[in-house]
Amino acid sequence: MRLNYKGFTWIFLVCFLFHDFSATAQIKEPEKLSPEQQLETLPHDTSRIRPLFFLANSYMYRDSAKAIRYVKEALELSRKYHRERSECTFLALWGSIEMEQDNFVAGKELLRQEMEMARRINNMELLAQGVGILGTMYTEQGDYPAAIASYIEYLHAAEQLKDTTLIQVGYVNICVTYESEKNYDKAMEYARLTLQLPYKDKPQRVLAVTKALEMIANAYIAKEQYQPARDSLLKALQLYQEQKNDNGIATIYTVLANCYPGNAYQELEYCLLAQQMWERLAPNTGYSLANLGSIGVIYASLARIRSGAVKDTGALKTAVVLNNQETPASRALREASTMSAADLNAKALAYYHLALDRAIVLNNRETIMQVSDSMSHLEAEAGHYKEAYAHLSRFNAVYDSVYSQENKNKIAGLEANYKVELSEKQLQINKLALSDQIKIKWLLISSLALVLLTLGLIYRQSRLRKKANMQLDEANKVKTKFFGILNHDLRSPVAGLITLLRLGENEPDLIDEKTVKAKTGKITVAAEELLETMEELLIWSKGQMVQFRPKKKPVAVAELFSDIQKKFTPAGITLQFDQPPALSVITDTDFAKTILRNLTGNAIKALEAVAAANKTHEGHIRWKAWTEKGSVWLSITDNGPGATEEQLAPLFDEETSIGIRSGLGLHIVRDMAKAIDCEIQVSSAAEGGLEIRLKMGAANS
């Protein structure tokens, strides 16, 4: 399994952010002075604003404290001289710096102030920059509905400005969000919209085009169409190289590694080259984390080859051929060829932990989810089931929060609303252009019908998905219950068998012939009990199936009581049976016998516990059958200690938790009784103890 991170992007368009600065910002810079020294030569007025911006921006990734200090000074000047556009820009820059330091709450508040001011002064350019950064923050945190909402607002601003570059940026960001949500068809749709827009050789537009090419490649990779994916990525790589964009080159290397499944050399070559660049440029970006996880996946695959679990198709053999080559991948493969499977697994885990630790700090849920999934597989293969379960639990928790049906419905609704708004705008334009009122009327009617049909289809799809999720939840509940029963009812008999067998194997001198015969008899009884338990569990599991229908037929009550007599011969406990001759009931034989066995077994356990405390106590169990109003009733009565409401709760409450120590007989009785329409009643017996009555079904005439 490959670890893929579809990434996120937001293109910071500084080309329009400062064109409103006063002419006083155009100063002649002194020669041979550092930027800080140049700043100190300027008076404390608006002439300092532009240098402060470039200084803050240059320290954004190197020294956030210094960058924020310059931003605060610029904000103070902007407010003093009422430069609202400059104030918006520095609020956005400050918010970006806080986000880079993972201070999302502070960053969000600064962006809120920036967007509020941009709306007040009705500046769509500044509004676009704020919602664009906010959308990036939501995408990084895995909140895709909020990200889509931000990017749709970004598109509204770009369309009002009629700025093709900004529209491209909006399309790309929506495309990336759908890619992260694994909706590849929608991602491909918006990527192609980006490529259809005209663009010139400007850095911002090139970045939008390369990102669109990357998203198209990711969609092809998801469909395992690797050649067109490589073609798309190589086009993007060429554009990035022409622009000398190291971040873009590292991004393409990261994604290219996914285009060579099974080719460890190519995968390592691209991953290691990319990671060298990421550690230098931005070690905490989503692509860097995903790249670390991908390296871990490669080493885990090499470990499986080394252990013999997977056939080596040339991954480790390649190291011999590459002896004379000095590339990161060749050196790594030569080293891997000398390592054991355990060492390779340890190396894989080291990369996983590095990616996971960084992702947790950054709250990068996409990476947390994917690395946790990979680690659970690796730990399970190594037999570390506790660790594997912990990683799997983390994966499930994050997966449910990111890819929930609620989030998908929100995204579908947001996009539908956006398309409806676009449709309404088009109708208004047509209304102004057309003089024929009849044509306008029919156009409105047809457009409305199309919108209603689209919403209807979306609603129907939502209902179908909700129904499918409900069925999946029910199946998961049954699975959980079944494994709980397996854990309890099979582990004890098997443990007993193993103990007896190991005693004979390890200490044969301690056991004489008489004891051997006795132990052999116990082993036989334990094996028979285990077989009966497995038989009951299989019958119970069949009853949990949605399509199951019990096979009802006439069953003699004497046959049911005879089965109990054969199965149970408790020492010191009297079994008594009372039934009319030739009485039969219409029911499922296997289910009825299993119910009676479990109730008898529970009664015997209760009486044995009393006998252990009071050896003079004589245990009595009585089964009785009779007919009443055309139905057959069975009852079991004992003179044991009785039971509390809490102990009997599993007979009537399906929500009662399944405990390992509390026993599962009553859970089985409840479920099987429900399957064959058997009614259960409980009361205290007249002679003390407990009485359980079963309304089995119609009497056979």
Q: Around 30, how many Cα atoms within 13 Å sit in the side-chain half-sphere?
A: 11
With both helix axes pointing from N to C terminus, report the angle between 264-281 and 286-307 in degrees, rounded to the nearest 10. 150
Q: Contact at 8 Å (CB) between 405 and 466?
A: yes
Q: What angle do CA 594, 596, 602 make, to 5 degrees?
A: 100
For residue 265, what are the CA distances in angstroms to 258, 319, 330, 348? 12, 9, 7, 16
Q: What pLDDT is attached to residue 151?
A: 87
Domain ranges of the chain: 169-244, 553-698
In tens, the pLDDT along 541-576 reads 555 554 557 888 999 999 988 988 888 888 888 899
For residue 12, what are the CA distances in angstroms to 59, 113, 126, 175? 16, 18, 11, 17
| pLDDT surpassing 90 at residue 306 | no
**CB neighbour list of residue 13: distance below 8 Å, 6 or more residues apart:** 128, 129, 165, 166, 169, 204
For residue 150, what are the CA distances in angstroms to 32, 101, 112, 680? 44, 21, 12, 58
C-alpha–C-alpha distance, residues 319 and 327, integer Å: 11
Q: Contact at 8 Å (CB) between 685 and 671?
A: no
Phi, psi angle pair for 479, to nearest 5°: -60, -45
The three-state secondary structure class of 248 is helix
In tens, the pLDDT along 596-643 reads 988 998 888 888 888 888 777 788 899 999 999 889 999 999 988 888
State which of 50-59, 182-191, 403-412, 647-656 shows the largest mean pLDDT: 50-59
Q: What pLDDT is attached to residue 317?
A: 59
Residue 463 — very low, low, confident or very high, per pLDDT cuts 50/70/90?
Answer: confident
pLDDT-wise least confident of 245-254, 462-471, 529-538, 628-637 = 529-538
DSSP string, 489-504: HHHHHHHHHHHHHHHH
Q: Which secondary structure element, helix H or strand E, spans residue 239, and what is its range?
A: helix 226-243
| pLDDT surpassing 80 at residue 701 | no
Q: Please give the CATH topology (third level) of the domain spanning 553-698.
A: Heat Shock Protein 90 (3.30.565)
- The DSSP letter of residue 3 is -
C-alpha–C-alpha distance, residues 61 and 80, integer Å: 28
Residue 482 — very low, low, confident or very high, per pLDDT cuts 50/70/90?
Answer: low
C-alpha–C-alpha distance, residues 498 and 503, integer Å: 8
Mean residue pLDDT of the chain comes to 78
pLDDT-wise least confident of 174-183, 414-423, 518-527, 687-696 = 414-423
Phi, psi angle pair for 626, to nearest 5°: -160, 165
* Amino acid of residue 90: F
Share of the chain above pLDDT 70, in %: 75
Tokens of 516: 């051997």
Which pTM does this prediction carry?
Answer: 0.44
C-alpha–C-alpha distance, residues 536 and 637, integer Å: 23
**Which residues sit opposite 638 in a β-bridge?**
621, 690
Give the dihedral sign, CA 331/332/334/339.
positive
* Amino acid of residue 290: A
| pLDDT surpassing 50 at residue 22 | no
C-alpha–C-alpha distance, residues 483 and 496, integer Å: 20
Phi, psi angle pair for 389, to nearest 5°: -65, -40
- What is the pLDDT averaged over residues 641-662? 70
Q: Which secondary structure element, helix H or strand E, spans residue 322, and what is its range?
A: none
Q: Contact at 8 Å (CB) between 635 and 599?
A: no
Least Cα distance to 293 among 331, 257, 343 occurs for 257
In tens, the pLDDT along 387-420 reads 888 888 888 888 777 665 555 555 555 555 555 5
Q: Which residues of 1-37 are buried (b: 16+ CB within 10 A; e: fewer)?
A: eebbbbbbbbbbbeebbeeebeeebeeeeeeeeeeee
In tens, the pLDDT along 162-171 reads 888 888 888 8
C-alpha–C-alpha distance, residues 32 and 162, integer Å: 42
**CB neighbour list of residue 536: distance below 8 Å, 6 or more residues apart:** 489, 594, 597, 598, 668
In CATH terms, is domain 169-244 a member of 3.40.50.1980? no
Q: Contact at 8 Å (CB) between 270 and 287?
A: no
Residues in the chain: 701
pLDDT-wise least confident of 11-15, 498-502, 519-523, 618-622 = 11-15
For residue 663, what are the CA distances in angstroms to 110, 522, 636, 667? 58, 22, 19, 8
C-alpha–C-alpha distance, residues 161 and 491, integer Å: 70
The strand pair at 553-556 and 679-684 is best described as unpaired
Tokens of 262: 């099974």
pLDDT-wise least confident of 123-127, 160-164, 312-316, 581-585 = 312-316
Tokens of 412: 């579908």
Least Cα distance to 180 among 372, 6, 369 occurs for 6
Tokens of 398: 């994050």
How far is the first Cα of the chain from the last one, in angstroms, to the nearest whole number?
A: 62
The three-state secondary structure class of 559 is helix
pLDDT-wise least confident of 47-51, 389-393, 490-494 = 490-494
In tens, the pLDDT along 264-292 reads 888 888 999 999 999 988 888 888 898 99
C-alpha–C-alpha distance, residues 166 and 541, integer Å: 58
* Amino acid of residue 133: I
Query: Over 579-602, what HEC string results?
Result: CCCCCEEEECHHHHHHHHHHHHHH
Q: Contact at 8 Å (CB) between 173 and 10?
A: yes
